[in-house]
Amino acid sequence: MSEISSSQTQVKKVLPLILATAIFMQMLDSTILNTSLPSIAKDLEESPLNMQNAIISYVLTLAVFMPASGFLADRFGTKKVFIVSLILFSLGSFFCAISQNLTQLVISRVLQGVGGSLMTPVGKLALIKTFDKNELLKAMNFAIIPALIGPVLGPLVGGYMVDYLSWHWIFLINIPFGIIGIVLGVKYMPNYKSEDVDFDLKGFMIFAAASLLLSISLELFGDLQNTTPVLVVFILGFLFLYYYYKHAKKSGNPIFPLDLFQVRTFRVGVVGNLATRLGISAIPLLLPLMIQIAYKQSAVTSGWIIAPMAVTAMFGKSYVIKILDTFGYRKTLMVNTFIIGTLICLLAIPNIHTSLYWFVPIIAVLGFFNSIQFTSMNTISIADLRNFQTSSGNSLVSVNQQLAIGFGIAFGLIVLKLYENTDLIEGEIHNAFRYTFLTVGILTIISGFVFRRLHISDGKNMKSKEE
């Protein structure tokens, strides 16, 4: 008995680290390519504009295969699927590094995307099934930090690697992380599976089509010259979502059961995640863009300006449990969202003659509150799900999060381009960024009211055990 207890304790110590490794790889890979595209394009003798396919192919693959992660984990076991996903991601990274042309690179990115679409949701599912509700907050809090650090470090690490090594290293860096994840997974990853599994192939195809169309529309939203095809694709995506809704009402075992949305904390968590990320997700893109375009600074300089966000995010994780235990989820999420929105608005204050260092304390404080936000939203979403709902609920939360990040980035760029074409900016591109920060900041503040739907007692079962 003591050996089993000791083994379980060891698993609980290592499992958050395994998930953190997977999240870090995925989040780093989603952003590290951005600063490296011109260098890769030159080496592959392609136009930098065509290189967007290398990013789009990865994002679309995530959108298509993430909905199947819960079923695959239930059918084959969390351990097997997680290890296979790490192998696929690492192999994809290796093939990306040795690609000789754009076609090979895109195919390799698709292979990476298949691995990436499974490893984070399945790792998170294993965490949810391993920890009791009152232990889960602490475990999730540790594992979620890479999601905050990855988008910040990605452009910085990518810039340095391209400048001092070569673009191949932005893919090769994944391999040692992948090997560590595989070794730890083989030894410590529990193999949860379900005997009663029936795959809703029709529902998967419909939902995958909806995710695919919405993701394509997000990628195309940056081009405001020709909005009609973008809106058509966007509307088609929502029509497929409605088609899925009709299918799920009739199906005996849909891939995402509609009764998930009868769980209030899940419903509020998913909607809140989507709403608040409209502002939060835009900042790691807009601020470096402004520093490079308006202030004429290098990519590395812009990377260093937002780097404090990663440091304070790690610092924030040591306070989030105490804050949630003291104030509860409802008050914490509402107030925290208001603070984040206000901080985003503050980014609009400096003019073009203000020192860049003015942004550093704002970004540092923003990182701290982002840490609280993401941990709180992720844990409240699954707080009241029953055991038979965790696989599908966790998969849907992952898909929603991926789309929310995409919506946030697309939304930020749309607002920026709209202001760019108005007389408000008085010929100064910097003013377009200022108005954009103000707009997304105010909308973030408004989005905080979504969490009013939570009850004061919600999340009590997630309250951490006293040390």
User: By the 8 A CB rule, do 327 and 448 touch?
Assistant: no
pLDDT of residue 462: 62
Q: Give Cα separations from 354 to 33, 296, 313, 366, 423 (angstroms).
A: 30, 14, 26, 20, 22
Output the CA torsion sign for 410, 411, 416, 420: positive
Residues 6+ apart with CB under 8 A from 398: 66, 69, 120, 121, 124
Residue position matching structure tokens 């400096």:
350
* Sequence spans of domains, the chain: 1-198, 200-254, 258-467
Give the CATH fold of the 1-198 domain.
Growth Hormone; Chain: A; (1.20.1250)
pTM higher than 0.75, yes or no?
yes
User: What's the CA gap between 307 and 230, in Å, rounded?
Assistant: 34
User: By the 8 A CB rule, do 442 and 345 touch?
Assistant: yes
CATH homologous superfamily of 258-467 equals MFS general substrate transporter like domains (1.20.1250.20)
pLDDT of residue 150: 67
- Pick from 121, 95, 125, 112: nearest CA to 30: 112
pLDDT of residue 24: 78
Amino acid in the structure at residue 93: S
State the CB neighbour count (10 A cutoff) for residue 297.
Answer: 16
pLDDT of residue 78: 86
DSSP 216-272: HHHHHTT--S-HHHHHHHHHHHHHHHHHHHHHHHH-SS-SS-GGGGGSHHHHHHHHH
User: By the 8 A CB rule, do 332 and 323 touch?
Assistant: yes
pLDDT < 50 regions, the chain? 1-4, 465-467
Give the burial class of 421: count Cβ atoms within 10 A of its Cβ; 0-12 exposed, 13-18 middle, 19 or more buried: exposed
User: What's the CA gap between 216 and 230, in Å, rounded?
Assistant: 8
State the CB neighbour count (10 A cutoff) for residue 258.
Answer: 12
- Pick from 147, 140, 134: nearest CA to 29: 147
Q: Do domains 1-198 and 258-467 have the same CATH topology?
A: yes
- Record the tokens describing residue 429, joined without a space: 């591109």
pLDDT of residue 466: 36
Torsion of CA 114, 116, 121, 122, to 10 degrees: 70
